[in-house]
Copies of this chain bind each other. A is one copy, B any other.
Amino acid sequence: MKAETDCAACPLRKFALFEALDENDEEATRRFKDGERRVDPGTILMHEGMVSEDFYTVLSGMGLRYKTTPDGKRQVINFVLPGDFIGLQSGLMSEMKHSVETTTRMHLCRFKRSSLLPFMRNNPGRAFDVTWLSAVEENLVAEALVSIGQQPAATRLAWALHRLYTRISAVGADLGPGRIPLPYTQQDMADALGLSLVHTNRILRLLQTDGMISWRDKVLTVHDERALANRAGMTADMQETIPRRPLI
């Protein structure tokens, strides 16, 4: 049994990405917390169609959120990173509409499904934050929709890599200048972008020979962020830092 992390010492709090929390809210969140959980890579945390008795905030590690089609294809909805709140759906609707799978080892902060309503009821500020997070998620998915719906493969891939670079950097997983951990496979990327594995590999190679990135041994190195953002079809004003968001 490892010692549990106290909320005040939460390893995520230090990142500028997350909104500050006042004492009352912090105390309430501490009481909402039901424990912690550590899981291996490849663990299915939640399964489409099932009811999950818990939700989690990711303390460390990465994963995937995806849906599957009746004909067996998989669409990755979003990449799960530290600070993400997962499983909210099953607390609101009756069941999960997507699955969540870990890609690396993952350390989670656990909350009970049954205590969500009282938590929100007794802590309006935190209820507001939960809604906020939900809206942030919606926006991330909508952005992916735009990318997939309107952009050619090279633009999509550049966009996805740029966004991962920005998001992962913001939770402090720097490995040096322009280097971040990226534990996903090309198949994962393909499923996120709605491309075939082969085509994804083609385009990836292109971006690498162009010298703007390299991606080896689960480490992504961005050599020229400006060029990457450019390929991603982003204008200057879209490259601002990610807006701050609450942490549950």
Residues of A within 8 A of B (CB): 67, 69-71, 73-75, 77, 88-89, 92-94, 97-98, 117, 120-122, 124-125, 127-128, 130-132, 134-139, 141-146, 148-151, 191, 193-194, 233-235, 238, 243
Residues on B with C-beta less than 8 A from A148 are 145, 148-149, 194
Contact A135 B88 (CB under 8 A): yes
- Decide: A150 near B94, CB < 8 A? Known: A134-B138, A139-B89: no
A77 CB contacts on chain B under 8 angstroms: 142, 145-146
**Chain B residues in 8 Å Cβ range of A132:** 92-93
Chain B residue nearest to A127 (CB atoms) is: B127
CA gap between A92 and B138 in the complex, in Å: 12
**Chain B hits for A69, CB < 8 A:** 146, 150-151, 233
Measured between alpha carbons, how far is A71 from B125 in the docked complex, in Å? 39
Which chain B residue shows the least CB distance to A149?
B194
Q: Is the CB of B75 within 8 A of A150?
A: yes
Q: Say how far A104's CB is from chain B's closest CB, in angstroms.
A: 23
Distance A194 CA – B145 CA, assembled complex (angstroms): 9
Please give, as numbers and ranges, the residues of chain B lying within 8 Å of A125 by CB-CB distance.
121
* Closest B residue by C-beta to A132: B92
Residues on B with beta carbons closer than 8 Å to the beta carbon of A139: 89, 93, 97
User: What B residues does A145 contact at CB under 8 A?
Assistant: 75, 77, 141, 144-145, 148
* Interfacial chain B residues near A191, Cβ < 8 Å: 149
Determine whether the beta carbon of A73 is less than 8 Å from that of B150: yes
Determine the residue in chain B with the shortest Cβ distance to A193: B149
Complex CA distance for A117 and B145, rounded to whole angstroms: 29
Name the residue among A71, A117, A142, A191 with the largest chain B CB count within 10 angstroms.
Answer: A142
| Shortest CB distance A172–B (Å) | 23
* A139 to chain B: closest residue by CB: B97
A184 to chain B, nearest CB (A): 16
Alpha-carbon gap, A114 to B243, bound state (A) = 20
Cross-chain contact of A131 among B122, B127, B151 (Cβ < 8 A) = B127
Q: Which residue of B lies closest to A96 (CB)?
A: B139
Q: Please tell me if the beta carbons of B142 and A97 are within 8 angstroms of each other in the complex.
A: yes
A149 CA to B160 CA, complexed, in Å = 14
Note all chain B residues with C-beta closer than 8 A to A141: 138, 141-142, 145
Q: Which 4 A-B pairs have the closest CB atoms?
A: A149-B194, A121-B124, A134-B134, A138-B138
